[in-house]
Structure 1
Amino acid sequence: MSFCYTEADRRRVRDYGVVSPIEVVPNGADTERVTPESPTSELIKHDGLVAIFVGRLVDGKRPQDAITAVRRAQREQPDLKLYLCGAGPLREELEDQAGEETEFLGHVPSDEMPAIYRSADVMVVPGRAEGVPRTVLEAITARVYSVTTALPPYEKIVKEGYGTTVPVENPMEMGRQIAAFLDLSGGIELGAGGSEYS
């Protein structure tokens, strides 16, 4: 027996010629581990607005677009800082691209992630191909607003009040949406207090 997260995944596996039974088991977030009441993270030292990117530093995840988007959002939100949580082969290239508005945390242990979510005002998810990402589910559970690319898995789980989607590989629009949300939210601490839309 095989397992996958979505019906689309099941069809894809069938297309590869798998004939054994395939069960769809949706991805999820542990609502006892990730909560809006989690403590904040000591890794996040910025006193202003905080954006996070959570994922491997690889091209498919588009961390370079997260940096560009936050830089665009800073036009309206100059105290916004981006924390990248993840490791990968693009780190050196990204460090060259990034400025003072970006901090690289490297690989963050999963037991630290609830506190990372709790410390964030917005999560930036610019990937161009995903299944059902646990990071977005965990951000929603922690009541962190997510600005994601308009991929079918994201569109299904990013609900009104928890986020919005933008076209793939359009970091300038992503930045505009980040800035607009932070302006609309009045700078409330979403991770600490929960979204006003939840």
Structure 2
Amino acid sequence: MHIGIFTDSYLPYTSGVVRSIVTFSRELRALGHRVVIFAPAYGHHGTEKDIYRFRSLRAPTFKEFALAIPVAPGLTNTLRQLGIDLIHVHSPFLMGQLGVRMARRLGLPLVATYHTLYEEYIHYFPLAPGLLRRVVRNYTLSFYNGCRLVITPTDTIARYLQENGLKVPVVSIPTGIELERFQDVDTGWLRRHLQLPREEIILLHVGRLGKEKNISFVLQAFAKIHGEVPATRLVLVGSGPLKGELEHQAHSLGIAQAVTFAGSFSFEQMPAVYAGADLFVFASVTETQGLVVGEAKAAGLPVVAVRARGVQEMVEDGRDGFLVPLDIETFSARIRQLVLDAGLRKEMGRQGRLNASSLAAATMARRLADQYQELLG
């Protein structure tokens, strides 16, 4: 098969969406399929095989992100020459709309992945939030109802879309994890890199420093833990607009000296980042999957997470971690339990590594390829 992927974000920008596209593309190519990606330009990229870049503008409030200008005279002929059999879009916006137009023009099956609960991000546009939430939800549902097939990362999100009016077929296929990346990892690298004492128990959080990740909640819970167990440290991996505000909160809570804002790491470094911690904490309630939770498990970390739509399918409560309500006392109590019980941490981490094997990237790619074949059949 020749698959055309249209996306509003791609490398060198990093996100869960980008990680999903990169992982599925690599595995689909390994299965013998051709994948051609149509994405924004982020500057000069040199020669890239099977990647077509579109001129773009930097997002005014988030300079790392580029907004593609979805104008491409001759794209229809390019797609014909490439022999594209099917178009898969990863956003309902600029490049996604271009993918829709190309699919209709060429009579190709159109697949879309629902990566993001867009209505949960309206805090970036505070004007009339109730109305805006309805507008965004109606727009996205209308877009996805125009596709032949919708892919969601979890069953929970599939049900959510159906309950809100999705009429077309929907299939749950999580983004897979490249399990081989988490084998034979240097577990001491993170402490050396950040110059952290050996005796500290490291709580790790990976995610954008934005309001939707609910990191303020994590800081409040960690303040309770650190007050009782001083040899603990919270390491926050990621960048984002809330960094200054979160640093101020850490100072206000009296835990600034025990919170490390580590910034971002390369894709190659991330397995060592996970493996260098003792447990993973996550409080986002806006995830469609929570890929970082699966990666933490693949690295052998137990997880404490707020029970929310996508994440709840990534943790086996009581076996490889704990799922808790959005309550600071309960969240901190479960973290405290793991901090104080090294045996439990080890056992849950072992179980998490075993459970993560069910999300092998090659397996997920074969499931996606089967869906493509069914549409083309």
Class of the TM-score when normalised by the shorter of the 2 chains: 0.7 to 0.9
Match of 2:280, SS? strand
2:340 paired residue number: 183
Task: Kindly report which structure 2 residues correspond to 1:147-166, keeping only aligned pairs within 5 A, or say none.
Answer: 147-159=304-316, 160-166=318-324
Select between 149-158 and 50-59 the one with higher mean Cα deviation: 149-158
Match of 1:39, SS? coil
| Residue type at the aligned position of 2:278 | D
CA contact (8 A) 2:297 2:349 kept: no
Q: Which of residues 196, 205, 214 in structure 2 aligns to 1:46?
A: 196
Cα drift, residue 196 of structure 1: 6.0
- Distance in 1 separating the partners of 2:341 and 2:228: 12
Q: Does 1:81 align with 2:81?
A: no
CA contact (8 A) 1:49 1:187 kept: no
Cα drift, residue 171 of structure 1: 2.6
Cα drift, residue 16 of structure 1: 6.2
- Taking every aligned residue pair, what percent have the same amino acid on both sides? 26
Distance 1:103 1:55, change over 3 A: same
Cα drift, residue 118 of structure 1: 0.6
- Distance in 2 separating the partners of 1:85 and 1:17: 35
- Distance in 2 separating the partners of 1:115 and 1:52: 12
Distance 1:197 1:23, change over 3 A: closer
CA contact (8 A) 2:278 2:301 kept: yes
Unaligned runs of 5+ in 2: 1-110, 113-150, 251-255, 353-377
1:69 paired residue number: 221
CA contact (8 A) 1:64 1:94 kept: yes
Q: Does 1:26 align with 2:174?
A: yes
Cα drift, residue 155 of structure 1: 2.8
What's the Cα RMSD here?
A: 2.5
Aligned length: 192
Q: Does 1:59 align with 2:216?
A: no
Cα drift, residue 24 of structure 1: 2.9
Q: Does 1:107 align with 2:107?
A: no
Structure 1 or 2: more helix by fraction: 2
CA contact (8 A) 1:71 1:101 kept: no
Q: Does 1:5 align with 2:129?
A: no
Match of 2:240, SS? coil
2:101 paired residue number: none
Match of 1:43, SS? helix
Select between 147-156 and 53-62 the one with higher mean Cα deviation: 147-156
Match of 1:164, SS? strand
Bigger Rg, which one:
2
Greater relative CO (CA pairs within 8 A, separation 6+): 1
- Distance in 2 separating the partners of 1:128 and 1:12: 14
- Distance in 2 separating the partners of 1:116 and 1:167: 27
CA contact (8 A) 1:53 1:83 kept: yes
- Distance in 2 separating the partners of 1:89 and 1:50: 24
Cα drift, residue 92 of structure 1: 0.3
Match of 2:180, SS? coil
1:195 paired residue number: 349
Which TM-score applies when normalising by structure 1?
A: 0.84
Q: Which of residues 325, 336, 340 in structure 2 aligns to 1:167?
A: 325
Q: Which of residues 250, 258, 281 in structure 2 aligns to 1:124?
A: 281
- Distance in 1 separating the partners of 2:153 and 2:278: 28
- Distance in 1 separating the partners of 2:286 and 2:310: 9
- Distance in 2 separating the partners of 1:94 and 1:64: 7
| Residue type at the aligned position of 2:349 | S
- Distance in 1 separating the partners of 2:257 and 2:342: 24
Which TM-score applies when normalising by structure 2?
A: 0.46
Unaligned runs of 5+ in 1: none
Cα drift, residue 186 of structure 1: 5.5
Deviations 1:89-126 (A, max 9, x none): 11000011111110101122222110011111111101
